[in-house]
């Protein structure tokens, strides 16, 4: 009877210790997102759970999380050449293998796969035979790690989907900008060129030069707008808009000179206006769009 009670007491202590270890492991997975940190803490936790004996040689293989599940392994511990084959076999079988598992019983190592819902993210490998209770305990912790990998992979996929949606929205915005910002310069170029073709004999040399100058200025403006639109298309990367110190008077003067419609525009600038750090073409285009919208949609004859 005393022997039976001692056995039950030892079993209860073991279950209590395993429960505490599961709680610690759950907290670690909640507080960390780095796969490297989680792998190191996993092995430390396994070592701390061996109260009466030293931790047997253990190796951990985890795949770097990627939407493409055939990723490269991160390895902890001293690996032998044939042990990776055991990890691959456990991935294929999606179950533990080795002594006492009922699968590949003659395999020299005990391999516990890290299972997720769809993928196998790696395995825990040990060369020592484990009691059934310890093997089930370790396998459950591996399942927790697999669930952690599932969550991290889902976050990556969500971030990729969000990025793809943002790129689609950016593309639509660029298309809208192209149709809006190109319309007026193209109309000016077409009008000036048609005047040169239709009235070449009736226009003086000065008038022909003025029309050609308008065509050249608008074509140059189109080229600058095209370059800036390409910059805007790459705003999601590390490319930055090229800026320089610009004079406000020159920007507004050039803007008023290219307006294709008659409007009463009042400009108020300080006498000693400081230079501003900007991209003059983009700022000019933004002001032009504001004036054009106000002229098109506002009351007529309104300044």
Mode of pairing for the β-strands spanning 110-115 and 73-76: unpaired
pLDDT of residue 303: 84
Percent of the chain surpassing pLDDT 70: 91
91 and 113 Cβ atoms separated by less than 8 Å: yes
The mean pLDDT of 104-129, rounded to a whole number, is: 88
pLDDT of residue 49: 64
pLDDT of residue 3: 92
End-to-end CA distance of the chain: 103
Half-sphere exposure of 59 (CA within 13 A, CB side): 21
In 116-275, beta strands by DSSP E: 120-126, 244-246
Instruction: Report in angstroms the alpha-carbon separations of 238 from 164, 171, 235, 292.
Output: 17, 17, 7, 32
The mean pLDDT of 21-47, rounded to a whole number, is: 87
The mean pLDDT of 125-153, rounded to a whole number, is: 88
- pLDDT level of residue 107 (50, 70, 90 thresholds): confident
pLDDT of residue 51: 55
> For all residues of the chain together, what is the average pLDDT?
83
Q: Which of 207, 184, 192 is nearest to 261 (CA)?
A: 184
For the beta carbon of residue 100, count every other beta carbon within 10 angstroms.
Answer: 13
pLDDT of residue 233: 62
Residue 271 CA to chain centroid, in angstroms? 47
pLDDT of residue 100: 84
Q: d(Cα 126, Cα 111) in Å, to the nearest integer?
A: 7
pLDDT at 69 over 60: no
Least confident of 28-42, 94-108, 114-128, 193-207: 193-207
Q: d(Cα 152, Cα 39) in Å, to the nearest integer?
A: 14
pLDDT of residue 111: 92
The mean pLDDT of 89-95, rounded to a whole number, is: 88
pLDDT of residue 196: 84
Residue 1 CA to chain centroid, in angstroms? 63
Instruction: Report in angstroms the alpha-carbon separations of 111 from 47, 70, 72, 107, 134.
Output: 17, 19, 18, 9, 13
Instruction: Report in angstroms the alpha-carbon separations of 149 from 47, 70, 95.
Output: 22, 14, 17
Q: d(Cα 82, Cα 74) in Å, to the nearest integer?
A: 16
pLDDT at 81 over 80: no
The mean pLDDT of 103-128, rounded to a whole number, is: 88
């Amino acid at each position: 009877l005393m022997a039976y009670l001692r056995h039950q007491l030892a079993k209860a202590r073991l279950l209590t210790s395993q429960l505490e270890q599961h709680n610690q492991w759950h907290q670690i997975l909640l507080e960390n997102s780095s796969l490297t940190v989680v792998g190191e803490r996993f092995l430390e936790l396994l070592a701390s759970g061996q109260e009466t004996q030293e931790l047997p040689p253990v190796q951990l293989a985890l795949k770097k999380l990627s939407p493409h599940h055939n990723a490269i392994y991160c390895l902890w511990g001293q690996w032998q050449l044939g042990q990776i084959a055991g990890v691959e076999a456990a991935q294929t079988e999606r179950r533990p293998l080795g002594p006492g598992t009922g699968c590949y019983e003659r395999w020299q190592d005990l391999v516990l796969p890290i299972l997720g819902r769809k993928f196998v993210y790696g395995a825990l490998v040990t060369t020592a035979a484990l009691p059934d209770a310890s093997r089930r305990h370790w396998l459950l912790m591996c399942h927790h790690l697999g669930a952690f990998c599932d969550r991290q992979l889902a976050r990556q996929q969500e971030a990729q989907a969000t990025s793809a949606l943002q790129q689609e929205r950016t593309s639509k915005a660029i298309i809208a900008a192209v149709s809006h910002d190109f319309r007026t310069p193209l109309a000016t170029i077409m009008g000036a060129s048609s005047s040169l073709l239709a009235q070449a004999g009736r226009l003086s040399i000065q008038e022909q030069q003025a029309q050609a100058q308008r065509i050249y200025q608008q074509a140059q403006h189109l080229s600058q707008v095209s370059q800036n639109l390409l910059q805007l298309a790459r705003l999601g990367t590390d490319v930055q808009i090229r800026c320089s110190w610009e004079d406000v008077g020159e920007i507004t003067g050039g803007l008023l000179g290219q307006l294709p419609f008659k409007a009463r525009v009042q400009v108020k600038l300080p006498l000693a206006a400081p230079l501003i750090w900007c991209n003059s073409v983009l700022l000019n285009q933004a002001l032009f769009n504001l004036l054009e919208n106000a002229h098109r949609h506002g009351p007529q004859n309104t300044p």
